[in-house]
């Protein structure tokens, strides 16, 4: 599992609303920073283990 920061598609600044998850099959998911979303819960656990997300893709 990998994670990337995302860029707000309107403001083109780093998004405070989403992160990008690249799953074990290489598939990309846009994950909302919503505490009830289990993908986001997994991301927070991953960060708590000392990991940091990759920088967002250039746009």
Partner 1 sequence: MATIINADTSNGLKLTSDTSGEIELQSAGVTKAKITSSGLQNASGVAITSQAGKNRIINGNMMIDQRNSGGVTTPANNVYTLDRWNAGLSQSSKYSVQQVVDAPSGFYNSIKATVLATVSLGATDYFMLKHKIEGNNVADLNFGTANPETITLSFWVKSSVTGTFGGGIQNSNESRGYAFNYTISSANTWEYKSVTLTGDTTGTWDKTNGTGLWLNLALGVGTTYSKSTGSWGAGPVLSATGATNLLATGSATIQFTGVQLEANTTATPFEHLQYSQQLELCQRYYTKFTATNAYSTFGFATAATNARMTTQYHFPTTMRAAPSTSYSGTLCVLYGTGRANITSSPDSQLNINGGYVNYDVSGTPFTAITYSGLIGANNDVNCSVEFNSEL
Query: Which residue in the set 2, 3, 30, 51 belongs to the binding site for partner 1 (CB under 8 A)?
Result: 30
CB neighbour burial string for 3-38, b if at least 16 within 10 angstroms, e if fewer: beebbeeeeeeebeebbbbeeeeeeeeebeeeeeee
Residue 54 as a binder of partner 1 (CB under 8 A): the answer is no
Query: Which residue in the set 29, 44, 51, 54 belongs to the binding site for partner 1 (CB under 8 A)?
Result: 29
**Interface residues toward partner 1, by CB under 8 A:** 6-10, 15, 17-18, 21, 23-24, 27-32, 34, 36-40, 56-57, 59
């Amino acid at each position: 599992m990998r994670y990337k920061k995302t860029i707000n598609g309107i403001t083109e600044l780093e998004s405070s609303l989403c992160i990008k998850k690249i799953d074990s099959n290489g598939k990309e998911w846009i994950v909302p920073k919503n505490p009830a979303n289990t993908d986001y819960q997994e991301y927070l656990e991953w960060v708590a283990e000392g990991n940091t997300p990759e920088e967002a893709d250039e746009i």
